[in-house]
Amino acid sequence: MTGKLAGKTALVTGSTRGLGRTTAEWLAREGANVVVSGRDPEAVASSVAAVESYGVQGWGIAADLAIVSEAHRLGEETLATVPQLDILVNNAGMSIQNDFWKVSDEEWDIQVNANWRSSFILAQHAARHMIGRKIEGRIVNTSTIGARACHTDRLVYDASKGAIETMTRNMAYELAPYGISVNCVAPGNMAERPGAEEADWWPAATARIPFGRLGRAEDISAAVLFFCLPETAFTTGQTLLVDGAHNTYLPEF
């Protein structure tokens, strides 16, 4: 297999649909073998088949990352399955929309575990593995434009993603001596996902984006791939906002 990531192996969480699946396929297209993960075993199998269509090896491990023990299991099973792990993409995440004063303890735990704690846990497993094998690996985390500007009724989601950005900087600092880079991609409004049907709110959302369209899955996949390329090893501790200049726009009243 040829490509800039030929011979590398990546774990991409939340890779059974949307941004995660597109990212897994982009990495595979560049020659990386890919471990696919998601909650639904059938969807995992489908994504593995998509990855392998690029001529690389794919593996599938179903896991619910809102559960701490499942995050540890995913890390352990991945490292027991692949020859070595070179790339970790912490893509999985979820949001429960609610007024912050109505958020239950269970809703808090689900979101914080899925969005932040699972990424921390998997990065721990990956870092120990990479350090032990002297792999100059890559860890790419996922934030959101909501870490800089509020989403309506999504305080826990936005706060957990803000923590991801802080975690990225700290991990980059600690892992740089080992040649491991850690970066983060922050998507803007990403309604245009593979297979998505146009929603009523798309025109109004598009009007607030100076670039003139909503984000697409490939916009994010390209940013993730950038952080994984051999040429970008010296870039670390960064969060790249991919939003069509949405965050620069102040609507007129």
Catalytic residue among 54, 157, 178, 249: 157
Report in angstroms the alpha-carbon separations of 160 from 33, 115, 151, 156: 29, 6, 13, 6
| Domain at 79, CATH number | 3.40.50.720
Asked whether residue 130 is assigned to any structural domain, the reply reads: yes
Per-residue pLDDT, averaged over 81-95, amounts to 95
- Domain residues for the domain of 34 are 9-244
Asked whether residue 169 is assigned to any structural domain, the reply reads: yes
Asked whether residue 239 is assigned to any structural domain, the reply reads: yes
Asked whether residue 99 is assigned to any structural domain, the reply reads: yes
Asked whether residue 1 is assigned to any structural domain, the reply reads: no
> Mind listing the pLDDT tens digit for each residue in 17-27?
999 999 999 99
Measured CA angle at 32 (ends 77, 3), to 5 deg: 170
Q: What pLDDT is recorded for position 252?
A: 55
Is it the case that residue 51 has pLDDT exceeding 50? yes
Per-residue pLDDT, averaged over 212-238, amounts to 95
Number of domains in the chain: 1
> Is 173 tagged catalytic?
no
Is it the case that residue 1 has pLDDT exceeding 90? no
Per-residue pLDDT, averaged over 67-90, amounts to 98
> Mind listing the pLDDT tens digit for each residue in 175-196?
999 999 999 999 988 765 555 6
Asked whether residue 249 is assigned to any structural domain, the reply reads: no
Asked whether residue 98 is assigned to any structural domain, the reply reads: yes
Strand partners, 192: 216
Is it the case that residue 103 has pLDDT exceeding 80? yes
Asked whether residue 251 is assigned to any structural domain, the reply reads: no
